[in-house]
Amino acid sequence: EAGVAQSPRYKIIEKRQSVAFWCNPISGHATLYWYQQILGQGPKLLIQFQNNGVVDDSQLPKDRFSAERLKGVDSTLKIQPAKLEDSAVYLCASRFKLSTDTQYFGPGTRLTVL
Amino acid sequence: KQEVTQIPAALSVPEGENLVLNCSFTDSAIYNLQWFRQDPGKGLTSLLLIQSSQREQTSGRLNASLDKSSGRSTLYIAASQPGDSATYLCAVRPWDRDDKIIFGKGTRLHILP
């Protein structure tokens, strides 16, 4: 079974530029998550999708961050414009269906904002 | 507000030793607790998941315990190996949130050959 795929793996941009990250969850997984992990911290949930609908985006900085999962499969996370404090690893995770299932994480995208 | 704390932040031990990683949480109303492993440049891998009604879970050389009333969990690693070097993260799922999990900052473990 293929795992959660993310691209790119690394990205370096200057502040005020835009960037987008892509995630392909495990086939058949209805729930998809985006996390932000700042160096030395645990992952923080940014947004959760159930199929193509948003379940929780309470911690997403909506003035600059946006995310979509149009067909209930792949998802993209965008930052526009980026700030220095956005430097972090952005993790995507997916879960099959049941609330008792564990989340499966992708390798992450490391973003550096200069 | 649920907060998860992991002590120590970093730990180095010689190969072969048994070790314990600690996790504490402020609100005992949890659905489950999970221990993850994170290797550099890689995502998180679930190691053990303990439901709130359970006291411990074991997988190979790993044993995780849960004392919900005191808000504590420990991850015990027996006969440590250099391949165990990684960051270990503790995460709790609050009872009142269907799906959200809250992570600690992790413990960076280095096993000395």
In this predicted model, what pLDDT tens digit does every residue of B83-96 receive, in sequence order?
Answer: 999 999 999 998 87
State the pLDDT at residue A102: 82
For the segment B7-49, what is each residue's pLDDT rounded down to a tens digit? 999 999 999 999 999 999 999 999 899 999 999 878 899 999 9
Which residues of chain A lie closer than 8 angstroms to B100, CB-CB? 45, 48, 56
Rg (CA), chain B: 13
For the segment B38-64, what is each residue's pLDDT rounded down to a tens digit? 998 788 999 999 999 999 999 999 999
State the pLDDT at residue A1: 63
As beta bridge partners, residue A75 has A23
For the segment A36-73, what is each residue's pLDDT rounded down to a tens digit? 999 989 999 999 999 889 998 999 999 999 999 988 89
State the pLDDT at residue A49: 93
Is A42 at the interface with chain B, CB within 8 A? Answer: yes
Question: What DSSP line would sit under chain A, residue for residue?
Answer: ----EEE-SEEEE-TT--EEEEEE--TT--EEEEEEE-TTS--EEEEEEETTEEEE-TTS-TTTEEEE-TTSS-EEEEESS--GGG-EEEEEEEE-SSTTSPPEE---EEEEE-
Residue A99 has pLDDT above 80, yes or no: no
Q: Report how far residue B28's alpha carbon sits from residue B68's, in angstroms, rounded to the nearest whole number.
A: 5
Chain A interface mutation, best of B59, B101, B105, highest count of A Cβ atoms under 10 Å: B101
Question: Which tokens sit at A107?
Answer: 């390798």
Is residue B37 within 8 A of residue B43, CB to CB? The reply is: no
